[in-house]
Amino acid sequence: MPRIQTKCFGEVDYSPDAVFRFPYGMPGFEAEHAFLFLEQPGTHPLIFMQSVCSPDVCFILLPVLAADPDYKLRLAEEDLAALHLPTGGQPRIGKDVLCGVLVCAGSEERPHPTANMLAPIVVNLKRQIGIQAIQTQAEYSYRHPLIAQDPSPELLACS
């Protein structure tokens, strides 16, 4: 069984059948074409998208429907073709494709974590091919807040 060294999870054994191919890489990481999707105890529903070739490259994903239960995925014809999906319709999240959004941790400028709803990671579950698909709908943002900006007093009392 192959093994990779990762920055965050140490050594990880994996099956070659668990590798997902990204033929175009990821924006800013065009040389990264092979990823594993890892889940870690205590971090549900987060998914870690770990590069097979580069130990330091690991993206944090959140299933898109966990961030927005009403999310509407709209893939362009070229995205459908890249994913080897039939054209003329849209895939179903959770049935035909895995759809996750990249999570960006909070910072001084943005104290709360955000999710990139504008460019989700979309994976054909049957063919294990993935892309980052830029959505054209104006209602989505690349900085979608994951925590309410002004939490209610009830939420504050529970934390």
159: pLDDT strictly greater than 60 = no
Mean pLDDT, residues 54-58 taken together: 96
Q: How confident is the model at residue 153 (pLDDT cuts 50, 70, 90)?
A: very low
Mean pLDDT, residues 110-114 taken together: 81
75: pLDDT strictly greater than 70 = yes
Give me the DSSP letters along the chain.
--EEEETTTEEEE--GGG-EE-TT-BTTBTT--EEEEE--TT-TT-EEEEESS-TT-EEEEEEHHHH-TT------HHHHHHTT--SSS-PPBTTTEEEEEEEE---SS--S-EEEEEEEEEEETTTTEEEEPPP--TT--TTEESS-SS--HHHHHH-
Mean pLDDT, residues 88-95 taken together: 92
